Every structure is written in C-alpha cells, then in structure tokens.
C-alpha cells in the first residue's frame, strides 16, 4: 500500500474570493456618491425660500436611490461573480437602467404625497407679463387686467403617453447617475484585480525560486547520489558495462537539464515530462522489478505550458513513499487530458505494493505533506482561482494527485 503524505485530501488552492467579499469598498462608494448628491441638494435648498419643504421632499428619493444602488451591487455579485469585467459591465448597465426606471416610477407615484413648496419664482416674459410660479400654481400678471392663475395638473391626471414621456425623461437623468457609480465601482474592482495580479506574480516568482532551491537540493542529495552510484557499481561488477554507461549518460543528462533550467519560467508539458523520464529512468535502475512507469500524454497537449519542475515533488514523493516502502511492484502513471475546453488536467497515480512492516519502517516519521502542499500553493500563486490541486488515497488502494490549470499552449504552435 502506497503512503506519501497526510491522507487528508484538503489540497485545494486557496479559496476563491467569495461573492460580496468587497462589500465594504462598495458601501463606501455608495455612501460617498449619495453624500455628494446630498450636499448639492442641501446647497440648492438654502438658495430658496422654503428649504425645509424642499429637503423633506427629497428624503424619499435619497433613501430609495441609495437602496437601488445597493441593488446594482448585489446584482453584479450574483450574476457576474467572476473577475470578467466585461460581464460585470453588462450586468451593471442593465441593472442601472432598471434602477433608473424604478426610481422614476417611484418619484411619479410619490408626487401626490409631497408637500407643496412655498418657494416662488418670478420672471418677466417677453410679452411684458410677469410670471410667478409657486408650487403647482402659475400666476400671470398683466397690465390693466386681472391676473390669470393656472393650476398645473398632477402626474396621475396626465395621459398615458405624457406620463410615459415624463417618466422616460426622468429615468434618463437618473440613468447617468447610476452608470457613473457603476463605472467608479468597476474601476475600483479593476484596480484591485491589477494589484492582486501583481502580488500573485511576486508570489509565483518567489514560489518558483523556492521550488528551484528544493530541486537543486534534492539533485545534490548525498543519499540520492549514493544510491545512484551504488547501482552503477553493481552494474559494473556484474559486467553490464553497456547498461552502466547508459545510466551514466542519463544521470548526466538529468543534472545538465535540471541545473540549466530557469525555474521562474514556464516550460511545455513535453519538456516537463522529459525531465521526469530522465529521473524515472535512473530510478528504474535502482528498482528494476518494482517500478513500472506509464505515461499517457496526448501529442496535442505536449505544448501546453506549466511552471517548471512542478511535477518533480510529486514524482519524487511517489518513489520515496511508494516504491521504496514496498517489495512489490508499483505502477506510477502520469496522464494528461483536457476535461473541458481550455483546461489542462494532470493526474499522477501510484497503485500496487504493500508497505513494509519492519520495526525500522514502523518507527520512521510520516511525511508532513509539505512537498505536495507546496505544489498546490505554487499553482495557486501562478494561476489563482483558475487552478485547483487535490491529493489523497484511492479507494482501490494507492494514491492520486490531480492538478487542473488553464490550458495555455506554446505561442509558437497552432491550435
């Protein structure tokens, strides 16, 4: 039975940013927008003769408008939770139009419940008449004639066509307000995403450098060198010089390839598999009857790009905690597929073998899971929520590691 790491398969990349995670930022923007509008309303109120009535009539509009703006934010979070700004913009535009229409309808419905303002507007018409407006009344004073007093109709007294035109005019005015808030919010989201990408890039570079250090440390590990040289010695003593020469060449190729590799850059899946073949070919000499390797990578996925040496800790653990811990035959299988368009899935499984039960091995410390956890953290740092990583024992025996990441192909290839 294969044993590597902690049997708890919690190895997912860091949790995705949940909906409404930025509610504090959105709330601040909503308050700032409506506070700015409130300041202009207050300033306008005190320019007139009846500021109290003016402000009281605006309270309902301010309250409903604030609630509708929160509604736009909720709609964006529910219908466009992904980081796609284009989708967020579409949802924001549609909900802004709905919010403007609702606010216009509310203002028209509430018109009959608003207080009549005592504020007067007086101006001289070109015809010499003095026009005075106060609330719903228009008074026209004429020379040598009695004044004419007109009472403007309420909204509910207008025809359906006129009410629709009035509502549309009001909705257009408020549409620009809601669109302006949406634009500021999406700009803040875009800035936050850019900063997150910068932090992720820094983490990815740091993780890559750390992976390179771990790989180099393993490559010069005296125990690894001892086992390899011991296998070479056995081949020479048995007169199998051709196999010994082949192993020396493989060992040389492995060191040359790994030491010259830039671990901060991406490599193709084919290049990563070639690195693992070199490593496994060396291990096959140590375990000629115990280790069986199966690699199933479709040719069209060979140019998919992934972080360099990301498979090394997984294969390394497979040998250390799988093959070395049993005298039975163990099959190590590496396969890649495209579970759905735009996604690359790499699965590494070990099956077969029963762990040794010697007193020495029973007292050996168990793995802490650091190697595989580092792989998952590196994928998360490189691809964020677009990647996932899981590992754990299989029901039928053995162990499985599954990595899913975006399918990015070599720019020099087609398809």
Residuewise pLDDT in 10s, the chain (415 residues): 344 344 333 334 334 457 788 899 899 999 999 999 999 999 988 888 888 888 888 888 899 999 999 999 999 999 988 888 899 999 999 999 999 999 999 988 888 777 777 777 787 888 778 888 877 778 888 877 788 888 777 777 788 888 889 889 999 999 999 999 999 999 998 988 888 888 888 887 777 766 655 554 454 445 556 767 877 887 888 888 888 888 888 888 877 877 776 656 788 999 999 989 988 888 888 788 889 999 999 999 999 999 888 888 888 888 878 777 778 889 999 999 999 899 999 999 988 765 544 444 444 434 445 568 878 888 887 888 889 999 988 888 888 999 999 998 765 554 4
Classify burial at 357, counting beta carbons within 10 Å of its beta carbon; exposed 0-12, middle 13-18, buried 19 or more. exposed
User: Residue 112 burial (CB < 10 Å; 0-12/13-18/19+)?
Assistant: exposed
Buried b / exposed e over 85-109, threshold 16 CB at 10 Å, is eeebbebbbebbbbbbbbbbebbbe
**Residue ranges of E strands in 16-134:** 120-124, 130-134
pLDDT of 261: 66
What the block records as the tokens of 117 is: 């303002």
Q: Which SS3 state, helix, strand or coil, does residue 124 take?
A: strand
Q: What is the DSSP letter of 298?
A: -
Q: Where are the beta strands (DSSP E) in 189-269?
A: 266-268
Write the burial class of residue 186 (CB in 10 Å: 0-12 exposed, 13-18 middle, 19+ buried): middle
CB contact at 8 A, 394 and 333: no
CA–CA gap between residue 55 and residue 50 (Å, rounded): 9
pLDDT reported for residue 222 = 55
Dihedral, CA of residue 165, residue 170, residue 171 and residue 176, to nearest 10: 140
Per the listing, tokens 């983490």 go with: 203
- The DSSP bridge pattern shows strands 343-351 and 266-268 to be unpaired
Q: What is the pLDDT of residue 29?
A: 92
State in Å, rounded, how far the first CA of the chain is from the last one.
41
How far is Cα 378 from Cα 160, in angstroms, rounded to an integer?
A: 63
- Helix, coil or strand: residue 277: helix
Q: Which residues contact 233 (CB under 8 A, 6 or more apart)?
A: none
pLDDT given at position 132: 81
The predicted model scores a pTM of 0.49
> According to the model, what pLDDT value does residue 12 have?
40
In whole angstroms, give the CA distance from residue 17 to residue 161.
47
Quick one: tokens of 267?
């490599």
**CA nearest neighbour of 402 among 342, 335, 320:** 335
- The structure tokens listed for 292 are 């069986």
- Beta-carbon count within 10 A of 283 CB: 23
What gap in Å lies between CA 318 and CA 326, rounded to an integer?
A: 12
- For 312-325, the pLDDT digits (tens) are 888 888 887 877 77
Exposed / middle / buried, residue 413 (Cβ in 10 Å: 0-12, 13-18, 19+): exposed
């Amino acid at each position: 039975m294969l044993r590597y790491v902690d049997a708890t398969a919690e190895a997912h990349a860091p949790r995705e940013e949940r909906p409404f995670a930025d509610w504090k930022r959105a709330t601040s923007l909503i308050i700032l927008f409506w506070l700015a509008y409130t300041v202009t309303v207050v300033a306008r109120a005190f320019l007139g003769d009846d500021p109290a009535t003016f402000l009281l009539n605006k309270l309902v509009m301010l309250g409903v408008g604030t609630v509708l703006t929160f509604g736009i934010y909720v709609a964006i979070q529910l219908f466009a939770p992904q980081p796609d700004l284009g989708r967020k913009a579409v949802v924001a535009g549609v909900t802004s139009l709905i919010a403007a229409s609702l606010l216009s309808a509310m203002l028209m419905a509430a018109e009959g419940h608003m207080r009549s303002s005592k504020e007067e507007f007086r101006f001289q018409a070109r015809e010499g008449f003095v026009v005075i407006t106060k609330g719903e009344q228009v008074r026209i004073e004429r020379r040598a004639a009695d004044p004419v007093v007109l009472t403007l109709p309420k909204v509910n007294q207008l025809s359906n066509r006129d009410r629709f035109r009035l509502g549309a005019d009001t909705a257009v005015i408020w549409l620009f307000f809601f669109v302006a808030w949406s634009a500021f919010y999406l700009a803040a989201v875009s800035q936050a995403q850019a900063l997150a990408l910068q932090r992720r890039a820094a983490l990815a570079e740091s993780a890559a450098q750390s992976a390179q250090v771990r790989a180099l440390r393993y490559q010069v590990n005296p125990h690894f060198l001892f086992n390899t040289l011991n296998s070479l010695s056995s081949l020479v003593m048995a007169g199998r010089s051709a196999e010994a020469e082949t192993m020396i060449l493989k060992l040389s190729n492995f060191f040359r390839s790994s030491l010259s590799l830039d671990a901060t850059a991406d490599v193709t899946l084919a290049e990563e598999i070639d690195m693992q073949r070199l490593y496994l070919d060396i291990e096959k000499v140590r375990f000629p009857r115990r280790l069986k390797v199966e690699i199933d990578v479709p040719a069209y996925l060979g140019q998919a790009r992934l972080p360099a040496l990301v498979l090394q800790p997984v294969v390394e653990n497979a040998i250390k905690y799988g093959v070395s811990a049993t005298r039975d035959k163990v099959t190590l299988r590496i396969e890649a597929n495209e579970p759905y368009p735009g996604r690359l899935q790499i699965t590494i499984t070990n099956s077969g073998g029963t762990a040794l039960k010697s007193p020495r091995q029973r007292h050996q410390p168990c793995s802490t899971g650091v190697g595989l956890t580092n792989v998952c953290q590196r994928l998360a740092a490189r691809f964020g929520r677009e990647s996932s990583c899981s590992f754990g024992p299989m029901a039928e025996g053995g162990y499985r590691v599954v990595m899913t990441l975006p399918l990015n192909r070599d720019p020099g290839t087609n398809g």
